[in-house]
Amino acid sequence: MDQIKDANRKRWDERVHHNAVSRFYDLKGFKEGNTSLKRIEIEELGDVSGKSILHLQCHFGMDTLSLARMGAKVTGVDFSGEAISLARSLSEELGIKARFIQSDIYKLNEVLDEDFDIVFTSYGVLCWLSDIDRWGDIAASFVAPGGFFYIVENHPFGIMIDEHVEDRFQVGYPYFYNDPLRFEDEGTYIDPDQRLENKVSYEWTHTMGGIMNSLIRNGLIIEFLHEFPFSFFPIHPSMREGDDDYWYFKDENFNVPMIFSLKASRPI
């Protein structure tokens, strides 16, 4: 497992600076004042002014800093040293107050001992986690009484799609599977033409039941589960970008859940 985590960390360390200059992340627009948050999480998080927010798997901090711009007191966590370094640099450059911590999510309790009004995570995070039950334990442990956990993420059904088959929806990945899936490629979802030195990565699949139950078992109450028939990036070659920055299938028969959002609260 240490070798698997090390391979993923090296790949993400390398991807940080590729992502930072990509059109997809639009760091230039962010520096000019644009938010990196999308419609779903903005609407569903509500007013975060004055709230303390823990952002798990924050990458290089654009969403974390966007929440800070909305008045939240933010802490971002990521296992990539390169990501945290860039996040801190952006915080200082833009004069946006934020705290960033480099940590494996499974070891976060060893370096952070606080409660937060909101624990937040989003878009492409769960596939990098080997143990969804332990994830739920960690995430729930930081939710203050009266606070809530919120996630918007790839739908477990949608990520089963085979991205190499363009003319139809075909299953390419398992739904029930415990072992890591090994991938080897030079490009990334942001830019397939990129040439990365760290080609190998490992991902895990998690069921919707596993995700929800990991939170319920740790004392959180599910307030809602929403499902959406579009993606936050072109997961399939037959997708087109909409005016709202989400990606839609050109064929409306591909009417399947691609994103879900979930809110779970801790009673006072």
Determine the average pLDDT of the residues in 209-218: 98
Q: CA dist 211 to 2, 100, 108, 165, 166, Å?
A: 23, 26, 19, 28, 29
- pLDDT of 119 reads 98
Q: Are 207 and 156 in contact (CB under 8 A)?
A: yes
Determine the average pLDDT of the residues in 55-59: 98
Per-domain boundaries in the chain: 2-265
Cα gap 258→260, rounded to integer Å: 7
Of 141, 117, 145, the closest CA to residue 45 belongs to 117
Give the H or E element holding residue 101.
strand 99-102
Q: Are 194 and 18 in contact (CB under 8 A)?
A: yes
2-265 folds as: Rossmann fold (3.40.50)
Cross-strand partners of 161: 171
Cα gap 8→78, rounded to integer Å: 12
Give the H or E element holding residue 62.
helix 62-69
For residue 189, name the pLDDT band (cuts at 50, 70, 90): low
For residue 192, name the pLDDT band (cuts at 50, 70, 90): low
Handedness of CA 20, 21, 26, 27 (dihedral sign): positive
pLDDT tens digits for range 58-92:
999 999 999 999 999 999 999 999 999 999 999 99
pLDDT tens digits for range 132-176:
999 999 999 999 999 999 999 999 999 999 988 877 778 999 999
In which region does residue 267 sit, left (phi positive, over 0), alpha (psi from -120 to 50) or beta (all else)?
beta
Q: Are 140 and 222 in contact (CB under 8 A)?
A: no
